[in-house]
């Protein structure tokens, strides 16, 4: 289970934040573990075969087993970005000239 929140703030005051609490879901999933067999490693909760855990020297770090989906980000070509920046700079200079600065 990829626990992210325990129901308390992360600062030194540790104020209650019941809307940010994974513990009830963890308990519920544990109680129902025989009924469900989550295998999608992109989700918060999934099972890992014991053989795989043994192969990883019993390392139970979620990062060893969880699959992370990365979104591919497409950027404009540098020439296009440079052109836009130059246009913005020219607009700024023109506005400054209009107000005599």
Give the three-class secondary structure for 68.
coil
CA of 59: how far to CAs of 1, 37, 64, 81, 97, in Å?
14, 21, 8, 45, 64
pTM (two decimals): 0.57
Give the pLDDT confidence of 44-83 residue by residue, as tens digits.
Answer: 899 999 999 999 999 999 999 999 989 999 999 999 999 9
Domain borders along the chain are: 6-98
Give the pLDDT confidence of 13-24 residue by residue, as tens digits.
Answer: 999 998 999 999
| Beta-sheet strands, E only, within the chain | 6-8, 16-21
pLDDT attached to residue 100: 81
Give the pLDDT confidence of 28-46 residue by residue, as tens digits.
Answer: 999 988 888 888 999 989 9
pLDDT attached to residue 38: 83
Contact criterion met (CB below 8 Å) for 43 and 69: no
pLDDT attached to residue 78: 96
State which H helix or E strand residue 92 sits in.
helix 78-98
């Amino acid at each position: 289970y990829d626990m992210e929140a325990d129901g308390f703030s992360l600062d030194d005051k540790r104020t209650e934040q019941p809307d940010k609490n994974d513990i009830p879901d963890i308990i519920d999933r544990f109680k129902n573990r025989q009924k469900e067999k989550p295998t999608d490693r992109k989700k918060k909760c999934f099972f890992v075969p014991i053989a795989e855990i043994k192969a990883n020297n019993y390392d139970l770090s979620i990062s060893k087993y969880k699959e992370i989906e990365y979104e591919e980000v497409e950027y404009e070509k540098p020439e296009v970005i440079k052109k836009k920046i130059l246009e913005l700079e020219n607009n700024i200079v023109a506005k400054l000239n209009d107000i005599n600065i």
